[in-house]
Amino acid sequence: MQPPVPGDSPAAAVARPRRVVPLVRAVAGGLAVAVTVLLLASVITFALGALSDSNPAAAVLGETATPDDIARMNHEFGLDRPLVEQYVSWVGSAVQGDLGRSWFTTIPVADSIKQALPVDLSIAALALVLAIIIGGGAGIGAALSNGGAFDRVVTLFCSVLATLPPFVIGMALIVVFSVKLQLLPSGGYVPIDQDPAQWLRFAILPSLALSLDVAASIARQLRTSMVTALGDNYAIGAEMRGYGRSRVLFGHVLRNAAGPTLAVIGLAIPLIVGGAVITERLFGLPGVAQLALQSAERGDVPVVLGTLLVTAVVVVVASSIVNVLQKSLDPTARRQGVLR
């Protein structure tokens, strides 16, 4: 049992571990779901590679290759083994960090992904931060202005942004900020550890293109949740007891309204990752999406499988973290933890 904290009442000392139980259960359940999803993702990913009509041995050796040469190369690639054996071997190696080698360059797939993944992670992280800041600020302002001019403006912009895909927003941003105003570069990338300021100049437009649609969803959900929470008895009672408006808003209302908003963020993570395929092409970013696309065009299956698997891991891990945060902010779960 957790030792009591000095100054705690006996009831508080007993309630604290009980409040932790729902969170532990959420983490355990999230891990079980994550493992199941990753297992299914690995099966589907490998099946897509196995069902492709590519002939890697003939592609690597060229038109002058003899049937014996092709058979020898297929043996080196392990393609002459049963599919189940190939899958088990691939998964076993992937768990150890070995995603195989490119059929065309013989470069380890893991090395290629290590070079490209930081681009995606940095762009996606910045996009998520921008979405939370823009959407959160707009949602809070719209809720406080419930029915007012700002609320109507936010609702209008959210409706417009919801109909625009990221590549359309990206092209508009390039026209405005790169062509017309000439403030930001229209493409390219500088690693953040090399020059943070230059990284931000190159990353801001693609991140903004990915974030605005998500920001609109966050603003709409947060506005709806906060309007409902501001009308609940606990919020009205807190104001009647003399609590300041800011304390009621940020200490109680926003905490309870954050749960549904986190659910929107969790659903937005796959959209951000998926939108990176077109955004990377539009802004010339050397990320995982471009690596997968280029490899798919030339039939380099090991690289495609590796990028898809790593992308699935990133999405599942990020979504699991959001689910745990959502559970920790759920007032129903907190009350159940105390009452048990």
Condensed to tens digits (0 to 9), the pLDDT of residues 9-67 reads 554 444 445 555 555 666 676 677 777 877 887 788 777 766 766 666 666 666 666 77
Domains along the chain with CATH numbers: 10-52+99-339 (1.10.3720.10)
Alpha helices, DSSP H, located in 145-195:
149-161, 166-173
Q: Which amino acid is at 253?
A: V
CB-CB contact of 38 with 52 (8 Å): no
**Tens digit of each residue's pLDDT (9 = 90 or more) over 156-203:** 998 888 888 888 888 999 999 999 998 999 888 888 888 899 999 999
Q: What are phi and psi of 216, to 5 degrees?
A: -65, -40
**Tens digit of each residue's pLDDT (9 = 90 or more) over 272-312:** 877 777 788 888 888 888 888 888 877 788 888 888 888 88
What element of type H or E holds 175?
none
What is the C-alpha to C-alpha distance for residues 302 and 99, in angstroms, rounded to an integer?
A: 7
| Burial environment of residue 73 by CB neighbours within 10 A (0 to 12, 13 to 18, 19 or more) | buried
Structure tokens at 123: 């762009």
What is the C-alpha to C-alpha distance for residues 196 and 322, in angstroms, rounded to an integer?
A: 27
What is the C-alpha to C-alpha distance for residues 215 and 128, in angstroms, rounded to an integer?
A: 9
CB-CB contact of 166 with 278 (8 Å): yes
